[in-house]
Amino acid sequence: MTTLSLHCHPTTPCATIQGIQVHIEPLAGGHLRLHYRIEHAPDSLLIPTATAPAFADGLWEHTCLEAFVAEQGSAAYREFNFSPSRQWAAYAFHAYRERDTNYTPSISPNIRTQTSTTHLELTADIPAALLPAGTPLQLGLTAVIELADGSRSYWALAHPGTKPDFHQRDAFCVPWMKWEQ
């Protein structure tokens, strides 16, 4: 398991978040587990209400934890959005922001959350069937954080641009090999 820290984009400072860590764990069969932990000031984070797990668009408009996954050397990539509500989304792109409108996820990720007044934890198990077929892969890990006052901050492993843009391939900076057992 690898643990990495996300960093706030300089144009969206957020003093109430003490840190966001992501644990990456390969699972047998090429599945991927991501465990996000957000440490925040008491009651500062706006957390969507839990619902039944389901596909939903527009999750990035509120607190949302994300992953971008691409096969190394390919312009194509997948985007995954995980809401603390347990709603999720998976999108395929041919290239930078060129969405494959014919892509329909075949199965859903498994999402679990745990919250307190000072932290939010979300674990997402992504089935291998949702990930790009090749290997090695590159990961971009990100978060949109909505605070109780309605403001948002944008977090990622790397911010290559002057504005937050999680789709930039320079931000897909974690190499990952599928474990195929």
Q: Which residue is listed with tokens 């979300």?
A: 122
Convert the pLDDT of each residue in 108-119 to its tens digit: 999 999 988 899
**32 located within any domain:** yes
Convert the pLDDT of each residue in 78-96 to its tens digit: 999 999 999 999 999 999 9
For the record, the structure tokens of 150 come out as 């309605």
DSSP 52: -
| Predicted structure pTM score | 0.94
Number of domains in the chain: 1
Domain residue limits at 120: 2-176
**172 located within any domain:** yes
**34 located within any domain:** yes
pLDDT of residue 181: 37
pLDDT of residue 53: 93
67 by DSSP, 3-state: which?
strand
pLDDT of residue 135: 78
Nearest one of 76, 58, 75, 77 to 67, comparing CA atoms: 77
C-alpha distance from residue 78 to each of 69, 93, 115 (Å): 5, 6, 27
Give me the CATH number covering residue 54: 2.60.40.1190
**71 located within any domain:** yes
**181 located within any domain:** no
